Amino acid sequence: MTIRSHAKVNIFLKITGLRGNYHELSSRFMQVKGLFDTLSFIPKEKANDDFTLQGSFGCQREKNTIYKAWRILKEDTKNQRLDDFFKHHAVVVEKKIPEFAGLGGGSSNAAAFMKLCNKTCKLNLDKQTLAQLGSKIGADVPFFIYDYPSANVSGIGEIVEPFEEDLLDIKIFTPPIKGDTAQVYTAFRKNHIQEIAQNASLASCMEKERSNAIMKKYTIQEANDLFAPALYLYPQLQNHVKEGWFFSGSGSTFFTTQKV
């Protein structure tokens, strides 16, 4: 019982509004086909009541998105099959996606876990329900639930609309800088909040354009509103800026795309 958990990049990311403590966005998410974690359900040597999660994670189990997904599925479905199954099976993740890098690895892991649970434990939840539950874990999770190669994502991540376009070969470079998403958004709100109206206008144009056209037309700063606050927090990012390369999410990954 194994499933791939792909990375994503943000071809563009515009902050278009505020909703309480949350930031509304407009973004083009695209899967990175060649970069994925592998999540498996493996029989335990000895059955026990502990939820067993194995992998090279940079956080405690209780803060891991997979653990959070398990708790949410248990609380929402109250399905005894979940308890019974994980008494006898461990979750094992082979990590390839860099953490704290703007590639959505944690959100992708949570979505992959939920989809494999849904199938293995026969929870019979449709994708919309899984996406709604996933949104409680993180804003990127619904995109990975729907599993579109490319999609326009808006609201606070809950609106996911497939975007039909040619596949792109995405190449990434992740410097040894761990981006703190919360701090990057805080820096945006502190230093760039006045740009929201302009961002929303540009986003409405970008939503209609193909990803390869966006990469040719816009600069790294124009494409991603979080690049400037990330650079403010981590000035060493400037050492890795190259022509034709862009910035994913809150960082620290840079990427470029070529049409396949």
pLDDT tens digits, one per residue of 142-182: 999 999 999 999 998 999 999 999 889 999 999 999 989 99
Q: What is the pLDDT of residue 260?
A: 42
Please say whether the structural domain 2-162 has been given the CATH code 3.50.30.30: no
Q: What is the CA radius of gyration of the chain?
A: 18
How high is the mean pLDDT of the chain? 93
Contacts 24+ apart (CB under 8 A), 228-233: 228/188, 228/191, 228/192, 229/184, 229/185, 229/187, 229/188, 229/190, 229/191, 229/192, 230/179, 230/184, 230/187, 232/187, 232/191, 233/180, 233/183, 233/184, 233/187
Per-residue pLDDT tens digits for 62-75: 889 999 999 999 99
**Residue 35 exposure: Cα atoms within 13 Å on the Cβ side:** 22
- Whole-number percent of the chain with pLDDT over 90: 81
For 222, phi then psi, to 5°, come to -70, -35
Q: What would the mean pLDDT of 193-212 be, rounded to a whole number?
A: 91
Q: Do domains 2-162 and 168-259 have the same CATH topology?
A: no
pLDDT surpasses 70 at 258: no
pLDDT surpasses 80 at 58: no
CATH number assigned to the domain covering 168-259: 3.30.70
Show which residues are catalytic: 8, 140
Tell me which residue of 167, 139, 172, 128 sits closest to 27, measured CA to CA. 139
Domain segments of the chain as ranges:
2-162, 168-259
